[in-house]
Amino acid sequence: MAGHESGMLDVGDGHSLYWEVSGNPDGKPAVTLHGGPGSGSSPRTRNLFDPNRYRVVLFDQRNSGRSTPSATDPVVDLSANTTQHLIADIEALRVHLGIERWLVWGGSWGVTLALAYAQAYPERVTELVLAAVTNGDRRDTDWITRDMGRVFPREWERFRDGVPPAERDGDLSAAYSRLLHDPDPEVRAKAAQAWCEWEDTHMSLAPDATPSLSVADPAFQLAFARLVTHYWSNGCFLEEGQLMRGIGRLHGIPAVLIHGRYDVSGPLGTAWALHRAWPGSELVVLDDTGHGGGNMTAAIIAATDRFARE
């Protein structure tokens, strides 16, 4: 019953997206939106869905993973990579695959993207399953790049000092973005490593959290850091508070919000505020989990299994 297909989709602006479909060809359609921005899709995401009951779509967002052009290229133009471009890409992929409506799953940055897509195309979304909730507001990115220095002061000073002195009191995302596009490959690599070390630091307060980005392949580090800083320094290409104001457009769409209490990089307050503004949503708070790990996978599977039956 399970099948697998993959391909590249030309979405214009010189961009082609890698996509793959697995599971039951006649199953309930679901699309997965990866985090980052820029982490690329992971085969492990398939395990969040029963392959006998779901037709699961994975794809790499612009400039990430196997999509082209890659942000790993020494010189890459990110001007045609915005939230609005990604929303259009998701819709183009849906049409390409002949899917009428689908469940949308998102993790971390993928939550912000899922909310933006669902508000643009609510009639195409059957349910939402959102893990490690974010909403793209500058308030939240400022928390990660500056305010969290109060939680991790030694590590944050090292992170701050990775940019020139004149830029340390400004937008650190923008300052790092400039370094990540520097003509000197050593400057780019050093900035990518510093950015990824800070990401690993703030990812969780849970005692069993293990580093991942800081020990990743240098090419991946560069692409990931370039895309994160591109989005964060541009306010995720959203108006402040836009997704919260637009929550009424999701009325009637069942949603499960899953968040870890130990998620210090994305405090629970964002998920709570979203849940309070969204009567149809269910909030699951995990007391053993940060930005992932713990019972996060089990909670996601519980939601997708339930929606497969409905």
Catalytic residues: 108, 263, 291
> Amino acid identity, residue 275?
H
Ranges assigned E (strand) in the chain: 3-12, 15-23, 28-33, 54-59, 102-107, 125-131, 255-260, 281-286
Residues paired with 129 in a beta bridge: 105, 256
40: region left, alpha or beta (phi > 0 left; psi from -120 to 50 alpha):
left
- Kindly state the tokens that stand for 257: 């919000």
Backbone angles phi, psi at 14, to 5 degrees: 80, 10
- Kindly state the tokens that stand for 263: 């998620």
Cβ atoms of 114 and 87 within 8 Å: the answer is no
How many C-beta atoms surround the C-beta of residue 244 within 10 A? Answer: 15
118: region left, alpha or beta (phi > 0 left; psi from -120 to 50 alpha):
alpha
How far apart (Å, rounded) are the C-alpha atoms in residues 11 and 127? 25
Cβ atoms of 118 and 253 within 8 Å: the answer is yes
Q: Which class for 188: exposed (0-12), middle (13-18), buried (19 or more C-beta within 10 A)?
A: buried
**Contact residues for 279 (Cβ-Cβ < 8 A; gap 6+):** 251
Cβ atoms of 209 and 197 within 8 Å: the answer is no
